[in-house]
Amino acid sequence: MLSDSTILVTGGTGSFGHAFVPMTLARHNPKKIIILSRDEMKQWEMAKLFKDDPRIRFFLGDIRDRERLYRALDGVDYVVHAAATKIVPTAEYNPFECIKTNVIGAMNLIDACIDKRIKKVVALSTDKASSPINLYGASKLASDKLFVAGNAYSGGHDTAFSVVRYGNVMGSRGSVIPFFMSIRDTGVLPITDARMTRFMISLEQGVELVWHAFEDMIGGEIYVKKIPSMKVTDVAQVVAPSARQEIIGVRPGEKLHEQMIGIEDAPFTFEYDEHFKILPSINDWATSQERIKDGRKVDADFVYSSETNDEWMRQDELRAWVERNKEKLGAF
C-alpha cells in the first residue's frame, strides 16, 4: 500500500519519525516522505542523515497553521500524525498551548486531510489517553475522539482516520531508560514508587503497528499492541545495578501503572493475535463485521493495564535490548 506513495509525517523529527523514515524507506520504498515540523534545527540535523536520498523532503510548518497544512498536503496519499505537546508538566503549566497543538491542531489536520482527499490518516496516541488524569492525556483523548469521528465528519469524502495507542516507548527521547542512563554515574536513581510498572514497546514495534493500521483500517479503529510490562525498579536495576534506588514519590499527573484500554472500552474491544482493536461506539461501528474481521470480543470487565498484564519482560531481555541499542538511546 505504501509503496510508490507520498507520505507526510507531522512532528516527523521526533523519536517516532527517526524510526519510521528509515524503516519505511527500506520496507516499502515510497515515492516520497515529507517531514512536517516546526523546529528548523531538528530538520537540519535530520536532513544530514538522509542527504543522499531524494525521497525525503522537509517542510517547515505547524499543525496550528491551517493554511500551511493545506500547502503541505499537496499530492500526499497517506498521513502519520505524530506532532504533539507530550511532556506532562509542560502541558500542566502551559495548558492553552497544549490545547492549541493537541486539539486544535488535530482539528486543523482532519479538515485539511478531508479537503485534500488524503486516502488514510493514522494518528499516534498514548496510554495517558485512557482514563486520563492529566491535561496531556485529556487532550490526547479529545484528539482520539476527533480522529475517530472524522470518519463520519468527512461526509462523502473517502478519507479514513484511525489511531494507534502506545505505552512507554523504550529508548525514546525523555523516556525512563535514557534518563536513568544519563544520571547513573551519580550512584542514585530516583524511583517515584517501588510498585510502579510500565509497558515496554520498541520504536520498531510502534512503526510496525502503524504499518498494520494502514493495511487493516476501515476507519475509526484504535489499535493497541500487545506488549510486555516491567517494574520500574527492574528497569533501574538493569541500567545501573550498583546504583541506590531512592523513592521520591509520585509526581503530579503521574500514574502508578499505564493503562491502554479501560473497562469502559471493553464492550467495544476485540482481541487479535498480536494486538487489540477498540472500535467506535458511534454509528454502530462496533458491530461492523468489516471492522471486526476475525477479532474475538474481550470480557465485559477487561482492562489492559501494565500491572495486570499477562506478559512481562525479564531483566536479561531488557539488558540485551539496551546493549543492542545503547548508541542511539535518547538520541532522537
What are the residue numbers of the active site? 128
The CA-based angle 198-203-204, given to 5 degrees, is: 125
Helix pair angle (232-239, 176-183), 10° resolution: 40
Q: Where are the alpha helices (DSSP H) in the chain?
A: 15-28, 40-49, 66-72, 88-93, 95-99, 105-115, 135-153, 176-183, 203-216, 232-239, 289-292, 315-325
**Phi/psi of residue 163, nearest 5 degrees:** -130, 145
In angstroms, the CA 254 to CA 304 distance is: 18
- C-alpha count within 13 angstroms, C-beta hemisphere, residue 19: 25
The one-letter amino acid at 310:
D
Q: Which three cell numbers stand for residue 71?
A: 500547502
In angstroms, the CA 285 to CA 293 distance is: 12
- Distances 330 to 15, 81, 190, 203, 261 between C-alpha atoms, Å: 8, 21, 18, 11, 27
**Phi/psi of residue 310, nearest 5 degrees:** -80, -20
